[in-house]
Structure 1
């Protein structure tokens, strides 16, 4: 097998080849390593590659799970592996070694994946870009002048570039879905409580964040969801297992559905023509398939929502950064983080108990609005982002300078405007690479479903995957394309 052949398969496809004896796990790992070596100079998406796991004879025994022998990368945040570094994209956490597997990583391991290294992340997962002082700028394989998004930008870039079929991610405000949209791959955010964040990680963000992965196919999402849907004693949010495994139910017919759609955001950000057209093409397909489609959406005070979200994220960050500063004897936190992260921290230190509780009340209002919508509709179709991936670099004010929060928000979060409400409500949502803008950049379309209904979300996603196949569409930076001497793909 060569890289051209390797990169044509999703994770399930590679696992099938291993099972049939057509290729060995070692051969797949070597191909992944070759792919990383080829594309990473252009993307800067790897924090650490575990070369020793290849050099030591590959004598590690892999569990005989559904992904037995398939290589993966692990985001440097939220899915820690015992004995390995997890530095969260920040100099403040430099040298942080995980003492035990997170439950989600233990499930990746049981599924049979072979982890080859750490992928870059936004610092503490805060930003919708993957740029930080620890690892620099991670770039988009469709256009290296653009961002792959954040916070799971390194994972998205490497999956899109063909180095691995799947990489872990976490989504607290679009951190899986937005990078998937920018990079032309699949990004599912499961329902709150579907996947445990235990055992060691506290829930400082009241259930906003959920771990999962970035993938090339819908079936990888379905099979992986079965693998990761394992609760842990004491989880603050825990969902019962579905009546049928996702890996079988995702192929069922949905029957006629009532679908809402919207093309404009609830905050006044204009979607560009490509984002609008992407939703309308999606709507046209649904109507052709016999579904009832109505223009509608939840009524949300987005300004109140974003203020509440900034309060909750900032308050949680205070706990995390103070803990790291004490552990590593780095008391001057602002010396070790981006100035934007320091502003989050400062905001968090100023939040009163009353402000925090009022922020949670706003979250409840958002949850009620979205819940009410899904009493009428089976699905909601909307843009994933108002436009395709923006250029790298962002507004990060100098230490001590007065921050223009409107400018800062527009720089960092404007393209996440359609994402975060589903983290607060807990509903499952997926970004699918259905369309491209006039420059050829991917335009993801987002579909959200009622709480706990990943099955229907995957079923409709399968129909789109068949109607708008994205397999085989490769970006300019890809493992099948040689790298020139200056680091560009030829």
Structure 2
């Protein structure tokens, strides 16, 4: 079989067109993607569960008539249940856990004709902004392998950025699509709450903070993917107005003269790296040149309170995850099953009161109302996607002394004592110091995107985030399409790029 050397020049929509026109067989595209994964994955550790046999079987038979028929694709190893294939959720105890059902997103990906070639690396339970699980080891950034690709969809981002596949699945509960997109020079989009399905076994993922979608190199791939997945499934917890027309049609449609408010101030009161601020200021100048009205404008949201509410949700969700693990394993999880940080979060989650949890949810609702007021004055809110360029591998992991403390806390169930020290407030600010901008959209249910518009002098990508009003994915896709033409990024290649 020939070597399809032009593979890396095509996005997912382009590859699907080749297959549809009969110019390149799906089997040849599949083999080329496998070859590229085998070539660069040893350097990046992005794909942790190969599905090559499944992909070959799909590509070699009659493909569904979907819009992505024959396009290679990778699933995130979290939430994306594929019957018969392990789903670890980044946890040691689940390394060999095999679901017997497909998640609704996977079902829709199958109907779209995608060819599944593997599952990608993710942190344990998806709670970290870096992808360094103990079970599989750290994933590395193709732009510089000593730094993180971000998390929790870090494996997906590294795979797309390095040219393994044109598009990969991710999930975003606090920035987990947008942060890796920013670190890896990709387009990352988080839809509105309820836009994509979460069934059949789940409902309000992370109390409604999580939406699954894809990471891509082009805007049109993201729009076309949302066209095939959007819409409620059976028993959906939310209903949302359907788009008036396909999102793919929004890409290339004039965005009009938008009112854009921006901020480069960290909502948790920490510093912002000059390059991340520069990315926004440079983009503001570009937007003004394109005819938009741009001015500094902060929403009236208490960033520190919102950060604490986000962490309280995380603590509760981890405690519930560990209880679910208890049910699945038939025994209480031990230190051999989960990482120390996860265990400590579970200990703290078990001492957070119902009242505190409800107060955190009310904080989300207040933020959503304030954003509603904000979008009466502005069409779009712009910030850096992250406050810093990507950290070095291991840089944000607990220190040896912190690990020792966590082991004592975990062994003795000292959650109440630890909580009394104010550790929850400290954890919230430390956890979000590098990535404080993305959670607002999750907690208020708004669509948001990271656009790769800036690179540091060291050659590392910096994303710019845009947030729009509820249900206004169409507006973001129009703006993204305009920016993609004005400041193209697609031809920028990282140090590790499959050939």
TM-score, reference length from structure 2? 0.93
Q: 1:139 to 1:376 in 2, by over 3 A?
A: same
Report if aligned partners of 2:453, 2:462 keep a CA contact under 8 Å in 1. Answer: yes
**Corresponding residue for 2:470?**
451
Aligned to 1:199: 200
**Within-5 A mapping of 1:247-258:** 247-258=248-259
User: Superposition pairs for residues 426-445 of structure 1, below 5 Å?
Assistant: 426-445=445-464
Task: Kindly state the Cα deviation for residue 407 of structure 1 after the two structures are TM-superposed.
Answer: 7.0
- Structure 1 equivalent of residue 179 of structure 2: 178
Could you tell me how far apart the structure 2 residues matched to 1:410 and 1:338 are? 21
**CA displacement, residues 236-255 of structure 1 (integer Å, 9 cap, x when unaligned):** 11212111111113321121
Which residue is 1:324 aligned to?
325
Task: Give the Å deviation of 1:409.
Answer: 5.0
Q: Which residue of the partner structure matches residue 433 of structure 2?
A: 414
Describe the SS at the equivalent of 1:374. Answer: helix
In structure 2, distance between residues paired with 1:334 and 1:369: 42
What is the alpha-carbon distance in structure 1 between the residues aligned to residue 390 and residue 152 of structure 2? Answer: 14
8 Å contact kept, 1:53–1:116: yes
Matches within 5 A, 1:128-167: 128-167=129-168
Equivalences for residues 24-173 of structure 1 within 5 A: 24-53=25-54, 58-173=59-174
More off after superposition, 393-402 vs 22-31: 393-402
- Structure 2 unaligned blocks of 5 or more: 410-417
Once the two structures are overlaid, the 10-residue window that deviates more, 180-189 or 57-66, is 57-66
Aligned residues, how many? 480
Judge which range, 218-227 or 305-314, deviates more: 305-314
Q: 2:486 aligns with which of 464, 467, 475?
A: 467
User: Structure 1 regions of 5+ residues with no counterpart?
Assistant: 481-490
For residues 201-350 of structure 1, the aligned pairs below 5 Å read: 201-203=202-204, 205-350=206-351
The answer to whether residue 379 in structure 2 is matched with residue 372 in structure 1 is no
CA distance in 1, matches of 2:58, 2:127: 38
Aligned to 1:12: 13
CA positional deviation for 1:378: 0.5
Q: Deviations over 1:369-404 (max 9, x none)?
A: 222111110111110011211101123232425786
Q: 1:466 to 1:336 in 2, by over 3 A?
A: same
Taking structure 1 as reference, are residues 56 and 112 closer, same or farther at Cα in structure 2, changes over 3 Å only?
closer
Partner SS state of residue 115, structure 1: strand
Question: Equivalents in 1 of 2:226, 2:319: separation in Å?
Answer: 32
**Following the alignment from structure 2 to structure 1, what is the Cα–Cα distance between the partners of residues 373 and 293?**
18
Whether contact under 8 Å (1:266, 1:299) holds in the other structure is no
Alpha-carbon shift at residue 414 of structure 1 (Å): 2.1
Q: TM-score normalised to the size of structure 1?
A: 0.94
CA distance in 2: counterparts of 1:2 and 1:418, whole angstroms: 43
1:192-228 CA-to-partner distances (Å, cap 9, x unmatched) read 0100101112425211000001011000111111101
CA deviation vs aligned residue, 1:37-83 (integer Å, no higher than 9, x gap)? 11111101111112323666954432111111000000001221122
Q: What is the aligned partner in structure 2 of residue 395 from structure 1?
A: 397
| Worse-matched range after superposition: 41-50 or 244-253 | 244-253
**Higher alpha-carbon deviation: 193-202 or 410-419:** 410-419
CA distance 1:57–1:346, change in 2 (3 Å): closer
2:182, 2:92 → 1: CA distance? 28
Partner Cα separation in structure 1 for residue 477 and residue 276 of structure 2 = 22
Distance 1:362 1:324 in 2: 29
Q: Determine the structure 2 residue equivalent to 1:187.
A: 188
Q: Does 1:22 align with 2:40?
A: no
Shift of the 18–58 alpha-carbon distance from structure 1 to 2, 3 Å rule, reads: closer
Q: From the superposition, tell whether residues 313 and 183 of structure 1 become closer, same or farther in structure 2 (CA, over 3 Å).
A: same
Q: Aligned pair in 2 of structure 1 residues 60, 86: CA closer, same or farther (>3 Å)?
A: farther
Corresponding position of 1:488: none
The secondary structure found in structure 2 opposite 1:28 is helix
Q: Which residue of 2 aligns with 1:484?
A: none
> Is the Cα–Cα contact under 8 Å of residues 72 and 164 in structure 1 kept in the other structure?
yes
The C-alpha deviation readout for 1:78-130, integer Å capped at 9, x for no partner, is 22112221110001223221221111111111111000011011111100000
Structure 2 CA distance for aligned equivalents of residues 122 and 470 of structure 1 = 28
* 1:355 matches 2:362: no
Alignment partner of 1:477 is 2:493: no
The alpha-carbon deviation at position 337 of structure 1 amounts to: 1.1
CA–CA separation in structure 2 for the residues paired with 1:193 and 1:47:
29
3-state SS in 1 of match to 2:130: coil
